[in-house]
Structure 1
Amino acid sequence: MKKLWGNYSYAIILVVLSMLSLVVLKINLPSSPDHYVTITVSAGESLWEISQKYEGQHGLSEMEFIKWVEQYNGISGDHIFSGENIIIPIKAGNIELNETQDLASK
């Protein structure tokens, strides 16, 4: 075992660090856009209003929601425009049920 460690210690350390790095990246990187809901911004709508509109579905504070949307969509300073498509931090399966419930209650 000592001989193995002595000959391949750098390679073993490199493999272990690489695996740890991959795990950390997998945890921290957002999922693909297909896993989240894409919405079209309405006229006069802000990220703050969108956060409040979907408040029960994302589980984030307004500031966390806005920061996530800005980072994920490459937006800076709450600059969104009417007709623009943005990805919001709501799992794709969650929104369909709530929209169906909203339509049924109208």
Structure 2
Amino acid sequence: MNEHLNRKLKGTSFVILFIVLTIILFFTLTNRVAADGNDYKTIAVEKGDTLWSLAQRYHSSNSGLSEEAFVNWIERENGIDRNFIQPDQKLIIPVRK
């Protein structure tokens, strides 16, 4: 019976460890870019630009982000909604200067 309890505890410990490592890995991969406007490029929106077109144009300069994560980063750091960008608007994008 004691052996059964030990196996159960080892199994539970393994599951908890796996969950913790998964969470750490998730945050490491999704938060590779720290938000500091002084380190990132500022661009002016041109007529016809969308956040998705900006992501397609610039995200290859930041291989740590997918296009969707790139768009989400721009929205979050610039305090905007993807449907409301206008020509000549200045945006900080996650591309190092």
Q: Into which bin does the TM-score normalised by the smaller protein fall? A: 0.5 to 0.7
Instruction: Determine what percentage of the aligned residue pairs are the same residue.
Output: 33
1:80 maps to which residue? 85
Sort the Cα spacing of 1:44 and 1:37 in 2 relative to 1 into closer, same or farther, 3 A: same
Q: Which residue of 2 aligns with 1:12?
A: none
Residue 69 in structure 1 maps to residue 68 in structure 2: no
More helix by share: 1
Taking structure 1 as the reference length, the TM-score comes to 0.56
Q: Which runs of 5+ in 2 are unaligned?
A: 1-30
Equivalence for 2:12: none
| Count of matched residue positions in the alignment of Structure 1 and Structure 2 | 66
Q: CA deviation at 1:78?
A: 3.4
Give me the whole-angstrom Cα distance separating, in 2, the residues matched to 1:58 and 1:49. Answer: 15
Assess if the C-alpha contact under 8 Å between 2:51 and 2:82 holds in 1: no
- Whether 2:40 is the aligned partner of 1:44: answer no
TM-score (structure 2 length as normaliser): 0.60
DSSP 3-state at the match of 1:44: coil
Q: Structure 1 residue aligned with 2:34, among 11, 30, 44?
A: 30
Unaligned runs of 5+ residues in structure 1 are 1-26, 93-106
Cα-Cα RMSD = 2.1
In 1, the alpha carbon distance for the partners of 2:68 and 2:50 equals: 13
